Amino acid sequence: MARKRRKKSGNWITRSVFQPKLLFALSMICLITIMAPHYWKFIPDLSENKEYQIPSSSIEFTNPPEWIPEEFLDQVIKQGNLPENISLLNGEIVKEVALAFRKHPWIKNVRRVRKKTGTITVEVEYRKPVALVQLKDGYYPIDSTGILLPPADFTMKDTQNFPVIQGISSVPQGPAGLPWGDKLVSFSASLAHVILPDWKDFHFKTIRIPKQKKPLEKLDDLQFELITQNGSRILWGRGPLSNHPGELPVAKKIERLKDYQHDHGSFDDSRVSYIIDIRHWQSITRKPIMISKKKKKKRRS
């Protein structure tokens, strides 16, 4: 009778682990783990290579409208602290460029920043000026929401291209790119925004907030006047932000202004200025403005 073969002694884990191939693989893993932090020191930094760098001044961006200054990109680079040359290998460069553009007061929104072959392109939405607020020390441009725009980018000539808002006593509460900080300004800006497309055709000069005999209980009751080049006053009524149920819609008011201009040729007369009231639901009314003898002499001269 054949004797049974005794099983080999020893732990099966020991027999499995102590294999040449496995031991070699484990040793290599340990070696790489230890040496990796030191290894990267010897790899050349290609981000400093000129072949992978572009001048910041070569960044491409959305074609700007006429009111954006020529030195816009230089301002973005300076205000955004971008280096003179930027590396396309920089993993954070897209975020850095986007942030630099967002900081500029002319930028309403950064839509997309992309790295392309040899350049960086930025798609942006610009803020649009709708009016200039007249204060004692000068004129301050604003957009349709009442955000202050860079005053240095405007000249006296621009007062002929945009509505001038009179009757604001507050000053901007922050730098360009931030809201003015006064609801009177944002209410006035909303009116300037809707009337701007027809402003030059109507030959208007200013949007005036009349002096109030007593403080307004609510801004919804604020009434505006539009002043022509020769001094006629159009009683516009409440602004576009008003929710007053008895107010004519904005589109209806503009339609009335166009009808009046068509019927009379102009809102002004060479001899007489008028108060023209377009607020009534049924019709437009007008009456001549009585002027003093002194003002008559000035007009004749």
How far is residue 11's CA from residue 80's CA, in Å, rounded to a whole number?
A: 67
Q: Return the pLDDT at 23.
A: 57
Q: Return the pLDDT at 245.
A: 87
Q: Cα 80 to chain center, whole Å? A: 16
For 49, which DSSP code? S
Question: Beta strands of the chain (E only): which ranges?
Answer: 53-55, 60-61, 85-87, 107-116, 119-126, 131-135, 138-142, 164-166, 204-208, 223-228, 233-238, 274-277, 285-288
Where does residue 104 rank: exposed (0-12), middle (13-18), buried (19+ CB within 10 A)?
buried
Where does residue 150 rank: exposed (0-12), middle (13-18), buried (19+ CB within 10 A)?
buried
For 147, which DSSP code? B
Q: Return the pLDDT at 53.
A: 84
Q: Return the pLDDT at 227.
A: 96
Which residues of the chain have a pLDDT value below 50?
A: 1-2, 4, 9, 39-40, 42-47, 293-294, 301
Count helices and strands in the chain by DSSP H and E runs: 8, 13
Q: Measured between alpha carbons, how far is residue 119 from residues 45, 47, 92 in Å? A: 20, 15, 15
Please state whether beta strands 223-228 and 233-238 pair in parallel, antiparallel, or not at all (unpaired).
Answer: antiparallel
Per-domain boundaries in the chain: 49-126, 131-300
Query: Taking Cα atoms as reference points, which of 50, 108, 110 lies closest to residue 84?
Result: 50
Q: Return the pLDDT at 137.
A: 92
User: Residues 228, 234: contact at Cβ < 8 Å?
Assistant: yes
Where does residue 220 rank: exposed (0-12), middle (13-18), buried (19+ CB within 10 A)?
middle
Q: What is the pTM of this model?
A: 0.78
Q: Return the pLDDT at 90.
A: 84
How far is residue 254's CA from residue 257's CA, in Å, rounded to a whole number?
A: 5
Give me the count of residues in the chain: 301
Class of the domain covering 131-300? alpha beta
How far is residue 239's CA from residue 254's CA, in Å, rounded to a whole number?
A: 12
**For residue 49, which phi and psi values (nearest 5 degrees)?**
-75, 130
Q: Return the pLDDT at 271.
A: 79
